[in-house]
């Protein structure tokens, strides 16, 4: 039952997480609880709290954002497999597009930081722009459409760095030159 309901509840909650839905999620959780309680009563005849304890438990649930939540009356198996509640889904507000912005205005920094992609921008650069929130990690200045941005390894490959996203950063061309010179100097004196 849990494995059949969880994808439906999560999908529905994710779909409606962009609108004002906290009250609705709470109401739906109550309705689902009433339905599950009726289901357990039909299986156990007159359900006492002891019999309901076979299906509902107190426990801790790890949410998708990494936080833990202590709950009572969790519909849960003995192995810890838990029915997802609607109100565990974080509400994510939709960010409106600036009125003057269009995908064709050449402001690739805005579109890359907003969506993680921009027209005529390599995927790697767009993802790094979004990760860095449009700023150069070396100088802290925002990228402008006229800037030349280059992908740089935080730990240079010559010093054992890997070609992975966690080891990449986006820099202005002139700051990358400064960083490369500093990396070479460290390599000489080490």
Rounded CA separation 116/113 (Å): 6
Q: Are 73 and 40 in contact (CB under 8 A)?
A: no
pLDDT value at residue 104: 67
Q: Which domains does the chain have, with CATH numbers?
A: 2-88 (no CATH), 108-189 (1.10.30)
pLDDT value at residue 67: 78
Q: Report phi then psi at 33, rounded to 5.
A: -60, -45
pLDDT value at residue 47: 58
Q: What is the overall mean pLDDT for the chain? A: 81
Q: What is the pLDDT of residues 126-152, one digit of tens each?
A: 788 888 888 888 888 888 777 788 889
Element (H, E) at 39: helix 22-44
What's the pTM?
0.51
Q: Are 152 and 170 in contact (CB under 8 A)?
A: yes
Q: Are 64 and 53 in contact (CB under 8 A)?
A: no
Q: What is the pLDDT of residues 115-132, one digit of tens each?
A: 655 556 777 887 888 888
pLDDT value at residue 48: 63
Q: Closest Cα to residue 17, out of 125, 78, 91?
A: 91
pLDDT average, residue stretch 78-101: 83
Rounded CA separation 146/166 (Å): 26
Highest mean pLDDT among 2-6, 65-69, 80-84, 126-130 belongs to 2-6
């995908």: which residue's tokens? Answer: 103
Rounded CA separation 32/82 (Å): 13
pLDDT value at residue 78: 79
pLDDT average, residue stretch 64-72: 76
Q: What is the pLDDT of residues 141-187, one digit of tens each?
A: 888 777 788 889 988 888 888 888 889 999 998 888 888 888 888 87
- pLDDT level of residue 75 (50, 70, 90 thresholds): confident
pLDDT value at residue 49: 64
């Amino acid at each position: 039952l849990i494995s059949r309901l969880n994808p439906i509840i999560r999908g529905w909650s994710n779909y409606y997480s962009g609108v004002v839905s906290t009250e609705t999620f709470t109401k739906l959780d109550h309705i689902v609880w009433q339905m599950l309680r009726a289901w357990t009563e039909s299986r156990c005849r007159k359900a006492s709290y002891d019999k309901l304890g076979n299906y509902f438990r107190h426990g801790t649930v790890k949410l998708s954002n990494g936080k833990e939540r202590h709950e009572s009356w969790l519909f849960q198996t003995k192995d810890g497999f838990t029915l997802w509640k609607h109100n565990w889904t974080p509400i994510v507000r939709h960010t409106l597009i600036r009125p003057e912005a269009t995908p064709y205005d050449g402001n690739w920094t805005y579109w890359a930081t907003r969506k993680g992609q921009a027209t005529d921008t390599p995927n790697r650069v767009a993802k790094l722009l979004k990760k860095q929130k449009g700023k150069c990690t070396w100088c802290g200045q925002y990228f402008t459409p006229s800037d030349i941005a280059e992908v740089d390894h935080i730990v240079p490959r010559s010093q054992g760095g890997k070609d992975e996203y966690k080891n990449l950063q986006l820099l202005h061309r002139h700051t990358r030159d400064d960083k490369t010179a500093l990396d070479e100097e460290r390599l000489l004196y080490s």
